[in-house]
Structure 1
Amino acid sequence: MTDGSRYIPYDERTGAESVVYFTRDLSAAGIMKVFEKVNGNITGKVAIKLHTGEPKGPNITPPSWVKEVMEKEPCLKDARIVETNTFYKGDRYTTEDHRKTLAINGWDFTEVDIMDADGTITLPVNGGKWFKEMSHGSHMLDYDSVFVLTHFKGHTMGGFGGSNKNIGIGCADGHVGKMWIHAKNGNDWGVNEEELMEKITESTKATIDHFGKNITYVNVMRNMSVSCDCEGVDAEPVVTPNVGILASSDILAIDQACIDLVYAMTEEEHKALVERIETRHGHRQLSYMKELGMGNDRYKLIDTDNGDVEITQKEAVKDLKPFVRIDARK
């Protein structure tokens, strides 16, 4: 039986390898640098799925970066940022309050599509053991492609929040899909760790099966609190150093690469984030993606800063700057 609290070293993995692109440039230019390596199938009407955050949360991917990327990338000229409402009651629970929060956080430079504002649709979950279908915001059907732009960080329940969590929770509608994932009896949060990881992943599978090749992923490893951006100003202080930005057309490969980069840090650098991942059984997200055929956990890490050469995880994190030490609660 798979243990989601255990990190699986690279040499214990089997199967094919995907490609993950890497840059140390934490900026809009850095996002574009790696996105352009993987955006060949981003066509038609494009959704940009990202976590817009709770009011005044300090760790979200800066809206100014996203604005610049949307303005400069030809395939994103008419793209829309998409979100869904929350299952928990707060400042993004209703569409009206959600729009207020979007403005507070600086996303009002564009019209954000709250996909469940006008109801829900269901998409099949192929091969799932928990779900046969997942409930999403009805506007999902309006899009041809998805650019998944993820702030990689810890997560109170999921251990970590990468591309899998961004889609699995973030595309499920607020009051049906998210309830199916989180609630054991429809009105509580009693799902155990392994079950939660599997349910998040099955929700993700519904989305990526729907879009097929027309989906790609960028993970931003910056301001990585052990808390999710859903905690806003109550997030735990950042004590993990910034790393860079990764891109891939393989969702498992990119999330696994981010985890591998965390584990390649020194004990002092990664202690808090590793503890959060392991105690929440976050590794089950990765092993279950592999079981469901959603990608590869082996990959070539390509350094785009130095001529697109393959590097090791240790080489990618060898010159990290000191801890950011951002305390969102001050």
Structure 2
Amino acid sequence: MKRREFLKTAGFAVAGAAVGGLLDLDKAFAQAPVIGSTKIVKTAPGEGSHAKVYFTKKIDAQHLIKLYEMINESIYGKVAIKLHTGEKHGPNILPRDMVKALQQRIPNSTIVETNTLYQGDRYTTEGHLEALKVNGWTFCPVDIMDAEGTVNLPVRGGKHFKEVSMGKNIVNYDSMLVLTHFKGHAMGGFGGSMKNIAIGCADGRIGKAQVHGVEPDKLPDDWNAWPSKERLMENMAESAKATIDFFGKHIVFINVLRRMSVDCDCAGTSAAEPTIPDIGILASTDILAIDQASVDLVYAQTSNHDLVERMESRHGLHQLTAMRELKMGNDKYELIEVD
């Protein structure tokens, strides 16, 4: 069945990149996340499966490319690079030269984005195009996927959504690289690979309102009135699952753990200065494993108070639980360090 036909039915069985998680995250997170599943050398009989997450402490173009080439076996055809390009002059967005070096190694690739729900630099397509220029995203095509409309992608097994509205142009791509600046987030607690596609592929008017649990034309002025905590994390997971199911095995993930402010890149110049040291780059074909590993690495740092407080106060760790319950990946992983 071709991917276009997938849009006609929510019952299509997609071969995912991983199986369901094996840890009891609810119990683990009742106190604090644990890092007991990293650096598994070999799975013993009865221990179940685990995902592979590649990791390097070196944050540069050479190692970004090296990690991508370890996970890109299923990437083919027209490739979407889902990137958060940020508000104008954002101090923490990924370095353009590093992204450029990777993009130029991926044939037929395009950076993809969608417009925002809030009225900022990227609220309209025209404003978004200007922000892209200001921030230096001019070295390759950038597709604002909802500039000319939307498409509904089905959510298989969702308890809140049967479908989510996405930027129409998402269906024009054969594969996707989710290239994420891992950081905090005002409502989500943290923004990893899941948040990048959950909100970042949803179109700016309908889809993002769905994910945030608000009416498109009746946005509450007070952010405290917006649905949050567990419900927001579950909405995000279901939106992300729609994108993952669409691409099947042809989607891979990279998280860059540098300049990790408690604020998202959507905060622009008002983002808080990072207080946690840079950690490195992670890459995986498993979305739950890479976000779980990223969270574990943050918790392993001694100077992590601000970011951990942001995650826990927003109930952001429920992102991981929600992905596990939707069988989006494996929370048991092998962390493979790469020089």
TM range (shorter): 0.7 to 0.9
Q: Residue 155 of structure 2 is aligned with which of 89, 111, 125?
A: 125
**Corresponding residue of 2:32:** 7
Amino acid of the structure 2 residue aligned with 1:35: Y
Give the Cα–Cα distance (whole angstroms) in 1 for the partners of residues 245 and 51 of structure 2.
18
Equivalences for residues 73-152 of structure 1 within 5 A: 73=105, 76-152=106-182
Cα deviation code 1:41-68 (max 9, x no counterpart) = 0100000001000000010111111111
**Corresponding residue of 1:294:** 328
Cα deviation code 1:255-294 (max 9, x no counterpart) = 000000011111xx11111000000001100011001000
- Aligned residue for 1:126, secondary structure, equals coil
> Does 2:254 correspond to 1:214?
no
Q: Residue 69 of structure 1 is aligned with which of 102, 109, 125?
A: 102
- Aligned residue for 1:134, secondary structure, equals strand
Structure 1 residue 16 displacement after superposition: 2.6
Structure 1 residue 108 displacement after superposition: 1.2
Indicate how the Cα distance of structure 1 residues 116 and 6 shifts in structure 2: closer, same or farther if over 3 A, else same: farther
**Corresponding residue of 1:56:** 89
- Aligned residue for 1:231, secondary structure, equals helix
Cα deviation code 1:225-264 (max 9, x no counterpart) = 0000000100011111001100000000000000000111
**Corresponding residue of 2:208:** 178
Amino acid of the structure 2 residue aligned with 1:28: A
TM-score in terms of structure 2 length: 0.85
Indicate how the Cα distance of structure 1 residues 134 and 218 shifts in structure 2: closer, same or farther if over 3 A, else same: same
Cα deviation code 1:292-330 (max 9, x no counterpart) = 00001110000111xxxxxxxxxxxxxxxxxxxxxxxxx
Q: Say whether the 8 Å CA contact 2:178–2:193 is kept in structure 1.
A: yes
**Stretch moving more, 142-151 or 12-21:** 12-21
Equivalences for residues 297-308 of structure 1 within 5 A: 297-305=331-339
Give the Cα–Cα distance (whole angstroms) in 2 for the partners of residues 141 and 250 of structure 1.
21
Q: Say whether the 8 Å CA contact 1:198–1:285 is kept in structure 2.
A: yes
Q: Say whether the 8 Å CA contact 2:77–2:108 is kept in structure 1.
A: no
Q: Residue 167 of structure 1 is aligned with which of 197, 210, 229?
A: 197
Q: Residue 276 of structure 2 is aligned with which of 240, 250, 256?
A: 240
Give percent identity, aligned residues only: 55
**Corresponding residue of 1:227:** 263
Give the Cα–Cα distance (whole angstroms) in 1 for the partners of residues 270 and 243 of structure 2.
30
**Stretch moving more, 101-110 or 183-192:** 183-192
- Structure 1 residue ranges, 4+ long, deviating more than 3 angstroms after superposition: 1-8, 10-15, 183-186
Q: Say whether the 8 Å CA contact 2:37–2:333 is kept in structure 1.
A: no
**Corresponding residue of 2:285:** 249
> Does 2:292 correspond to 1:259?
no
User: How large is the RMSD of aligned CA atoms in angstroms?
Assistant: 1.7
- Aligned residue for 1:37, secondary structure, equals helix
Cα deviation code 1:70-129 (max 9, x no counterpart) = 22x2xx122000000000011100000000000000001222000000100001001111
Indicate how the Cα distance of structure 1 residues 5 and 177 shifts in structure 2: closer, same or farther if over 3 A, else same: farther
Equivalences for residues 262-273 of structure 1 within 5 A: 262-266=298-302, 269-273=303-307
Amino acid of the structure 1 residue aligned with 2:227: V
Q: Which runs of 5+ in 2 are unaligned?
A: 1-24, 39-46
Give the Cα–Cα distance (whole angstroms) in 2 for the partners of residues 26 and 5 of structure 1.
33
Structure 1 residue 185 displacement after superposition: 4.3
Indicate how the Cα distance of structure 1 residues 219 and 65 shifts in structure 2: closer, same or farther if over 3 A, else same: same
**Corresponding residue of 1:158:** 188
Indicate how the Cα distance of structure 1 residues 139 and 120 shifts in structure 2: closer, same or farther if over 3 A, else same: same
